[in-house]
Structure 1
Amino acid sequence: MRQRTASILWRAGIAVALITAIGLLPWVSHTDPARTVLKARSADRDPTPEMLRDIRVQLGLDAGPFHLLGDWLGGLWRGDFGTSWLSGGQVGPAVLQALGVSLLLMGVALVVAAVTAALICARTLWLGGRRRTAGGTGSAVLAAVPEFLTATVLATVVGVQLGWLPALGWYGPRWTVLPALALGLPAGAVLGRLLDDLLPGAFAEPWARSAAARGLPRRTIARQALRRSLPGLLPNTGLFVVGLTGGAVAVEQIFDIPGLGRTTLQAALAQDLPVLQAGTLLLVLLATAATGLAHLGTRLLTGPALRDGALPTPHRTTTPARSLQPLLHAGLLLGVIALGLPRDPLALDTRARLQPPTRSHPFGTDALGRDLLARVAHGALDTLLLALALGAVALITGVLLGLVPRLSGPLVDTVTALPPVLVALLVTAVAGSGAATPALAVAAVAWAPLAAHTSALLRQERAALHLTATRALGAGPGYLLRHELLPAILPPVTRHALLRLPGIALSLASLAFLGLGAQPPSPEWGLLLAENQPYAERAPWAVLAPAALLALLGALAVTAAGGVRLPGRRTREPAAS
C-alpha cells in the first residue's frame, strides 16, 4: 500500500512539474506572448507598445508565470480549464471535443493495428512457434514508410483519384477509415514483430510440448501461447495507445482532423498556454490510464504465477537462422549511397525540373532540377548516422531505467504522453531552433518504449522458476543480474531497439516534414519528403526515392534483428504441433 501511494505521488509530481514547465515556457524562451497573441488575433495590426500592454493586462501576464499557473491549477478543481488567449472561449469544451475525436480515431486505428499484427504472427502461430528462416520484409516496409507519406498516398489515390472514401474533414465514420489506416498499419507492423519475437519462447515451454505430445489441438496450444506472450507486449501496446492519440499530428494535419494532437500543436505554436496545458494534462492522464490498464491486463493474463514465482522463462537463447537478407539489404543501401555521394546535391538545372528517372538521373530530379540520387545519398549520411547514434543512446537509457521500474514507470508514462512534435517545440523554446532540435526531441522520448519493454520482461523473468531456485541456493542480486536477468532481457530488447531504428529515422523525418529541424537546402530525408509532397501526383518518383530508402532501412533492421542472440542457455527449437 505504501509503495502504491508513493508511486501515485511520484506520478502526480511529474505531471505537476511538466505542467509548470509548460507554464514557464514564454519566460524561459524569452519571448513575449502578447506579440504572438496579437499576431494570431490580427496579423495586419502593428504591435504598438500600448496595444501589447493592453493584451498583457487582459491576460494577466504582468502578474508573472506562477500567478497564472496558480489560477489555472485552482480552476481545475472546479472543472475549469481556463480561457483561451486567442479565442477568449472556454478551453474545456474545445479540448474535450478534440480528445473525443482523437479517441475515436485511435480506436479505429487500434483495430487496424490488431489485424495487421495478427496477420504478421499468423504463420508463427500456425507452425507452432518455429522460427522463420527468412521473412519480415513486408512488415518492415509497413513499419518504415512514414505515416504522413501513407496518409498522403491514401488521400490522393483512394480519396481524390478513385473517390472511394472522403479524404478531408471529420464528419462521420467514413472519414475515419483513411487516417486510421495511415496510423494503424505502421503501429501494427511493429507490434506484430514484437509479438512474433515472443511466441517461439512460449511454444518452447514444457506445458506447450506436453500439450502437443498429448495430442491437444494446435489451435488450443496457439491460443494459450498467445496469452502467455501478451503480458510482455502490453506495456508497449499502452504506449501505442497514447502515440496514436497525441502523436498523430502529421496525419491530422493532412486529413484536416481536429484532434487533440493537432490542437495541442497549434496551441504550442501560438503560445496559447491554457489550451497547451489542458491538452498536455489530458495526454498525461490518458497515458496513466493506458499504463494502468496494461498492468491490469498483465495480472489477469498471467494470474498468481507472477506473484508466486512459478513462471517458466519465455526468453531463451537459440541459434539464429542464417540468412543473406541483411547482407543484401545493407549492400543495396550502401550501393545507393556510394553511387550518389560523388554527385552534387545542390546543383540546380531549371531546364530539368521534375524529370523522370533516366540514365543521367537514375532517381529523377526534383522541382528545382536537382539530382534526387545525389540528395538522398548525401541525406542518408546525416539521417542514418544520427538515427544509429540516437538508437544506441535510447537502448542504453531504456535498459538502465527499465531495470528500476518504480523510478522509470511514471517517467515512461509522462514522456510517452508528449508527442515528439511538442517535445521539439519545447526544446526549441529552451535551446533555440537548429539542426540539433530534432535529435534532442527524439532522444528525449525514444528510450521510453525500450524501458517499458525491459520492465515487462524483468517482471516476468523475476517470477521464473529457475530464478527462484538460483536465489534459494544463495545467489545474490549482482549474480542474478549478470548471469540470469540480463542474458534473458538484453536479446529481445536489443531486437526491439533495432526494430525501432526506422521509427527513429521516421521521427526525425516527421519533424523535418512539419518544419522543425533541418531547413532547405539540406537533403535530409524528411525534408526531401516535405519538399516533394506537393508534386507526388505529377512526379511520384520525387517522393518514392526517399520513401524507398526508408523502407529499405526498415527491412535491414528487421532482418538484422532476427540474428541478435547473446550467449546463454541453449534450448531446442520447438517442434511443430
Structure 2
Amino acid sequence: MRLASRRLLTAAGVTRVLSLFGIVTAVGLLPWLSGRDPALTVLRARSAEQEPTREALDAVRQDLGLDAGPLSLLGSWASDLLHGDLGTSWVSGTDVLPSVVSGLQVSLALMGAAFAVAVLLAGALVAPVLVRGRRSAGAFAAMLAAVPEFLLATVALLVCGVWLGWLPTSGWQGPAYMVLPALALGVPAGGLLGRLVADALPAVLDERWVELWRGAGVGGARVSAAALRRVLPPLVPQFGMAAVGLTGGAVAVETVFAVPGIGRMALGAAKSQDLPLLQGAVLALLLLGLAVGALSALTRRRLLGPALRDASLTLPPARPVRTHPAIPSALFAVLAVAIGWGLLRDPYAIDTTNRLASPTGSHPLGTDGLGRDVLARLGHGAASTVGTAAAVCLLSLLVALALGFLPGVAAGAADIANALPPVIVGILVAAAAGPGTGGAALAVALISWPPLAAHAAALVQEVRASSFLMAQRAIGAPPLWILTRHVLPSVAAPVARHALLRLPGIALALASLGFLGLGAQPPAPEWGLLLDESRAYVERAPWAALAPAVALALLAGLAVSGASYAQGRNGTKGRQAVKEIPVGV
C-alpha cells in the first residue's frame, strides 16, 4: 500500500512538472503559435500610415528576433527570463517588467479587498449556523456563488454607478474606486466560502465531542472556535481554488471598471498582439495561482498540526440540501419560453430607424444599437451557447473517464489546470489562434475536466477494491471483460450525471469569454457578447443589457437549484458527484 502511494505521488509530481514546463514553453513560443503575423500588427501599431511592404515587415521581424527561428527565440526568451528580463513591449517600446509589476500591484490590492469582502460575507452566512446549530441560507449562499463576476460587475455598474450615482464607475484613483470592483469579485467568492463552511458545520456540531464540551460547561465561543478549526483544514484547498478564481474573475471586473490591473493588461496585450507584454502578464498570473495553491497547502498543514500532518482528515457527510423540484422546473420553463419565442424571430435583421427602442408588442425586449430584436438574439444566442457547452461537457467527460484510470497523471495535471482560470487560458488560446467560438470552447475544455477526473478516479478505486470484483478475478474473468462489464459502467453513469450538472457552469464560462471578446465574434448573438455590446449604450437602453443579464442569472440559478435538488434526492450517494460542481466558474 505504501509503495503504491509512493508511486502515485511520484507520477503526480512528474506530471505536474511536465505540465508546467509545457505551459511555460507555449508562452515562450507565442510569437510562432500565433495565427496572425505579429510583424504586421507591430508595424501598424508603430506607424499606421506606413505601407506593409516586404522590406518593412522583414525589418520588423529582424528587430523583434522573429527571423531566428522558434528554438532560438525560446532559448533567448528563457535566458532573459532567468535574468529577470521580460523583454520590451512590441507596441510601446517600454520594458515589460515595470508594467507587469505595476499591474500586479493593482490586481493584488483589488484581490485583497475582494477577499476581505468574501471573508466578511462568509462570516455573515456562517454565523447563524454557529448560533443556532443548523443550516441557514444555504440556498442563498449557493446562488451568490453561482453569479459570474462579469455579470455582477455589470449590474453593479448599472445600478450603483449609473442610476444611483453612489460610486465612481471607472478608473483607479482612490479607495472609492475600489468598492464596486471589490464587491463584484468578493460576493461570489464569499458565497462559495460561506456555503462550504455552512454545509460542513452542522455535521461537525453533531459530533460527540461537542456534546461533551457543552456538558462540561465550555462556553459557546470556545465551542464555535473549535468547530471552525475542525472544519477548516479539509476546506482550505477549496479556499485556495476560490482565491485562484479571483485572478480569473479580476480580468472581467478590471475590464468593466477600467482598472489598470494585470488581468486587463493581459487582455489588451492579447488583442493587440503585444506578445512580450502578454507573456509577462500570463506568467505573473500563473505564478500567482501556483503561489496561492502552495499557500493553501501550507495553511492546511499548519492547521492540522504535527500529529495529523500525515493523516487524512475528512469531514463527516454533509446534510443534503433540500430543494423543491418546482424551483429548477420553473427556472427551466422561463428560459425555455424566452428561448423558444426568440428562435421564431430573425436575430440579424437591422432596422436603424428603430435603434434602442423600448420594449413594445413587436419587440418584447426592445432593440439594440443597430435596431436588431433583443429577444431574437437572446433566443438564438442560447442555442449556440448551450450547444457549444454540451460539446465541451462531452469532451470533458471522455477525458475524465480516460484519466480516471491514471490517477497519478490526472492529479498532477489537475493541479496545474486548477491554477489557470478559464479567462487566462482563453487569453492564451486567443493569442495563438485568434478569438472565436472554437477557441473559447477549447479554453474551457482544457480546465473543466479536473473535477470530473477526480470523481472518476475515486470511483475507479472504490470499484476495484470491491469484493465482487475480487470474486470475478478469482474465477478467472479476463481483465478486459471486467473493465467493460463492471468497472466502466459503474464509473461512467455517476460521472456522466456529474458532467450534466456542470453544463450550466460551462455555459457561463463560455459567456464570460464572449463578454471579454475572446469567444464568439459579432454579429453572433452569444449571451456574453450581447452583454458586452450593450455596455456602450447602457444608460440609454438598459433593457438591452438587462435581458442577457437576467438570462445568465436564471442559468446560474438553474445550475444551483438543479445540483441542490440532485443532492437532496440522492442523499449521501449523490454527495460525491455534486460536491465537485463549480458554483462560480
Report the TM-score range of the alignment, normalised by the length of the smaller protein: 0.7 to 0.9
Percent of aligned pairs with the same amino acid:
50
**Equivalent of 2:550 in 548, 566, 571:** 548
Equivalent in the alignment of 2:47 = 42
* SS class of match (2:172): coil
The C-alpha deviation readout for 1:332-368, integer Å capped at 9, x for no partner, is: 3223333433333334444443333334433233233
The 8 Å contact of residues 347 and 377 in structure 2, kept in 1 or not, is answered as yes
Equivalent in the alignment of 1:435 = 437
Equivalent in the alignment of 2:356 = 354
**Equivalent of 2:180 in 178, 194, 202:** 178
Kindly indicate whether residue 193 of structure 2 is the aligned counterpart of residue 188 of structure 1. no
Kindly indicate whether residue 367 of structure 2 is the aligned counterpart of residue 343 of structure 1. no
Equivalent in the alignment of 1:575 = none
The C-alpha deviation readout for 1:517-547, integer Å capped at 9, x for no partner, is: 3233332211221222222222211111111
Q: Which amino acid aligns with 2:548?
A: P
Find the aligned partners of 2:420 and 2:247 in 1 and give their Cα distance: 10
* SS class of match (1:315): coil
**Equivalent of 1:292 in 291, 294, 297:** 294
Find the aligned partners of 2:9 and 2:518 in 1 and give their Cα distance: 40
- The structural deviation recorded for 1:97 is 1.7
Find the aligned partners of 2:210 and 2:388 in 1 and give their Cα distance: 43
* SS class of match (1:268): helix
Equivalent in the alignment of 2:96 = 91
Once the two structures are overlaid, the 10-residue window that deviates more, 163-172 or 387-396, is 387-396
* SS class of match (2:76): helix
Find the aligned partners of 1:96 and 1:454 in 2 and give their Cα distance: 40
| CA distance 1:82–1:8, shift in 2 (3 Å) | farther
The C-alpha deviation readout for 1:177-214, integer Å capped at 9, x for no partner, is: 22111212222223333333333443344434555666
Find the aligned partners of 2:217 and 2:573 in 1 and give their Cα distance: 28
The C-alpha deviation readout for 1:381-433, integer Å capped at 9, x for no partner, is: 22234335535654675687689665345433433444534423443455565
Q: Which amino acid aligns with 1:383?
A: T
- The structural deviation recorded for 1:114 is 1.9
Q: Which amino acid aligns with 1:37?
A: V
The 8 Å contact of residues 179 and 255 in structure 1, kept in 2 or not, is answered as yes
Matches within 5 A, 1:450-529: 498=501, 501-529=503-531
Equivalent in the alignment of 2:479 = none
Once the two structures are overlaid, the 10-residue window that deviates more, 45-54 or 199-208, is 199-208
Matches within 5 A, 1:182-261: 182-208=184-210, 210-211=212-213, 217-261=219-263
- The structural deviation recorded for 1:136 is 1.9
Find the aligned partners of 1:364 and 1:30 in 2 and give their Cα distance: 38
* SS class of match (2:256): helix
Once the two structures are overlaid, the 10-residue window that deviates more, 366-375 or 103-112, is 366-375
Equivalent in the alignment of 2:108 = 103
| CA distance 1:49–1:66, shift in 2 (3 Å) | same
- The structural deviation recorded for 1:104 is 1.0
**Equivalent of 2:317 in 308, 315, 318:** 315
Find the aligned partners of 1:203 and 1:243 in 2 and give their Cα distance: 30
| CA distance 1:214–1:492, shift in 2 (3 Å) | farther
Kindly indicate whether residue 67 of structure 2 is the aligned counterpart of residue 65 of structure 1. no
| CA distance 1:493–1:108, shift in 2 (3 Å) | farther
| CA distance 1:405–1:93, shift in 2 (3 Å) | farther
| TM-score, normalised via structure 1 length | 0.81
Once the two structures are overlaid, the 10-residue window that deviates more, 94-103 or 264-273, is 264-273
**Equivalent of 2:82 in 77, 80, 86:** 77
Find the aligned partners of 2:27 and 2:445 in 1 and give their Cα distance: 19
The C-alpha deviation readout for 1:458-511, integer Å capped at 9, x for no partner, is: 7xxx9xxxx9xxx9x9998x99xxx9xx999x999978984x655433321222
The 8 Å contact of residues 135 and 559 in structure 1, kept in 2 or not, is answered as no
| TM-score, normalised via structure 2 length | 0.80
| CA distance 1:249–1:296, shift in 2 (3 Å) | same
The 8 Å contact of residues 144 and 502 in structure 1, kept in 2 or not, is answered as no
Find the aligned partners of 1:514 and 1:312 in 2 and give their Cα distance: 39
- The structural deviation recorded for 1:110 is 0.9
| CA distance 1:84–1:124, shift in 2 (3 Å) | same
Find the aligned partners of 1:83 and 1:129 in 2 and give their Cα distance: 57
**How large is the Cα RMSD of the aligned pairs?**
4.3
Find the aligned partners of 1:4 and 1:495 in 2 and give their Cα distance: 26
Equivalent in the alignment of 1:136 = 139
Find the aligned partners of 2:191 and 2:183 in 1 and give their Cα distance: 12
Find the aligned partners of 1:177 and 1:496 in 2 and give their Cα distance: 36
The 8 Å contact of residues 229 and 303 in structure 2, kept in 1 or not, is answered as yes
The 8 Å contact of residues 103 and 245 in structure 1, kept in 2 or not, is answered as no
Equivalent in the alignment of 2:149 = 147
The 8 Å contact of residues 512 and 518 in structure 1, kept in 2 or not, is answered as yes
Q: Which amino acid aligns with 1:68?
A: L
The 8 Å contact of residues 320 and 562 in structure 1, kept in 2 or not, is answered as yes
Find the aligned partners of 1:149 and 1:317 in 2 and give their Cα distance: 30
* SS class of match (1:194): helix
**Equivalent of 1:370 in 367, 372, 381:** 372
| CA distance 1:218–1:451, shift in 2 (3 Å) | farther
- The structural deviation recorded for 1:107 is 0.7
The C-alpha deviation readout for 1:6-50, integer Å capped at 9, x for no partner, is: 866654443332122123233234543221211222222211222
Q: Which amino acid aligns with 1:275?
A: L
Q: Which amino acid aligns with 1:412?
A: A
**Equivalent of 1:539 in 538, 541, 557:** 541
**Equivalent of 1:327 in 297, 309, 329:** 329
* SS class of match (1:563): helix
